[in-house]
Amino acid sequence: MSEPAISNFIRDEVAADLAAKRFTKVATRFPPEPNGYLHIGHAKAICINFGIAQEFGGVCNLRFDDTNPTKEEQRYIDSIQEDVCWLGFDWGDRLFYASDYFDRMYELALEMIRGGKAYVDDQTQEQIRLSRGTLTEPGTPSPWRNRSIEENLDLFRRMKAGEFPDGSRVLRAKIDMSSPNLNMRDPVMYRILAVPHHRTGDRWKIYPMYDWAHGLEDSIEGITHSLCTLEFADHRPLYDWFLEQLGVHHPRQIEFARLELSYTVLSKRKLLQLVERKLVSGWDDPRLPTLAAMRRRGYTAEAIRNFCDRIGVSRSNSIVDVALLEHCLREDLNRRAPRTMAVLRPLKLVITNYPEGKIELLNADINPEDPSAGKREVPFNRELWIERDDFMENPPAKFFRLAPGREVRLKYAYYVRCNEVIKDPGTGEIVELHCTYDPETRGGWSKDGRRVKGTSHWISVPHAIPAEFRLYDRLFNRPDPDEGEGFLSNINPDSLEAIRGFVEAGLAGARPGSNYQFERQGYFCVDPDSTPSAMVFNRSVSLKDSWAKISR
Ligand code: ATP
Ligand code: MG
- Whether residue 345 contacts residue 499, with contact meaning beta carbons closer than 8 Å, is answered with yes
Ligand 2 midpoint to CA 275 (Å)? 19
For the CA of 45, the closest atom of ligand 1 is: 30
Quick one: pLDDT at residue 550?
Answer: 64
State how far the alpha carbon of 438 is from the alpha carbons of 52, 202, 347, 392, in Å. Answer: 61, 79, 21, 21
Of all ligands present, the nearest one to the C-alpha of 39 is 1
Q: From its phi and psi, is residue 201 left (phi > 0), alpha (psi between -120 and 50) or beta?
A: left
Residue 33 catalytic? yes
For the CA of 266, the closest atom of ligand 1 is: 3
Catalytic residue among 44, 169, 236, 268: 268
For the CA of 46, the closest atom of ligand 1 is: 16
Would you identify the CATH topology of the domain 268-338+467-550?
Answer: Ribosomal Protein L25; Chain P (2.40.240)
Quick one: pLDDT at residue 7?
Answer: 66
d(CA 419, CA 134): 80
Asked if residue 44 has its Cβ within 6 Å of ligand 1, the reply is: yes
Topology alike, domains 9-258 and 342-456: no
Q: How many CB atoms lie within 10 A of CB 274?
A: 20
Domain assignments of the chain as residue spans, ordered by start: 9-258, 268-338+467-550, 342-456
Catalytic residue among 33, 73, 331, 519: 33
Asked if residue 213 has its Cβ within 6 Å of ligand 1, the reply is: no
Ligand 1 midpoint to CA 101 (Å)? 21
d(CA 343, CA 352): 21
Ligand 2 midpoint to CA 458 (Å)? 50
- Whether residue 343 contacts residue 457, with contact meaning beta carbons closer than 8 Å, is answered with yes
Helix (H) or strand (E) holding 15: helix 9-19
d(CA 170, CA 189): 7
Closest CA to 430 of 398, 386, 464, 466: 386
- Kindly provide the b/e burial profile for residues 386-412, where b requires at least 16 CB atoms within 10 angstroms of the residue's own CB: bbeebbeeeeeeeeebbbeebbbbbbb
Ligand 1 midpoint to CA 247 (Å)? 28
Ligand 1 midpoint to CA 77 (Å)? 15
For the CA of 271, the closest atom of ligand 1 is: 3
Residue 339 catalytic? no
Instruction: Tell me the one-letter amino acid at 405.
Output: G
Quick one: pLDDT at residue 287?
Answer: 98
Counts of helices then strands in the chain (DSSP H, E): 13, 27
Residue nearest to atom 1 of ligand 1 (CA): 267
The edge-to-edge listing of strands for the beta sheet with 118-121 is 118-121, 170-173, 188-192, 206-208
Helix runs in 277-428, H state only: 291-297, 301-311, 322-336
Quick one: pLDDT at residue 546?
Answer: 77
Residue 268 catalytic? yes
Quick one: pLDDT at residue 8?
Answer: 87
Of all ligands present, the nearest one to the C-alpha of 34 is 1
pLDDT tens column, 240-252? 999 999 999 999 9
Asked if residue 84 has its Cβ within 6 Å of ligand 1, the reply is: no
The CATH number that domain 342-456 falls under is: 2.40.240.10
pLDDT tens column, 289-329? 999 999 999 999 999 999 999 999 998 888 999 999 999 99
- Whether residue 153 contacts residue 120, with contact meaning beta carbons closer than 8 Å, is answered with no
- The matching CATH number, chosen from 3.30.1300.10, 3.40.50.720, 3.40.50.620, 1.10.1370.20, for 9-258 is 3.40.50.620
Q: Which residues contact 364 (CB under 8 A, 6 or more apart)?
A: 339, 375, 376, 377, 378, 411, 412
Asked if residue 42 has its Cβ within 6 Å of ligand 1, the reply is: yes
Q: How many CB atoms lie within 10 A of CB 144?
A: 17
Quick one: pLDDT at residue 26?
Answer: 98
For the CA of 267, the closest atom of ligand 1 is: 3
Ligand 1 midpoint to CA 207 (Å)? 21
Q: In which residue ranges of the chain is pLDDT below 70? A: 1-7, 549-552
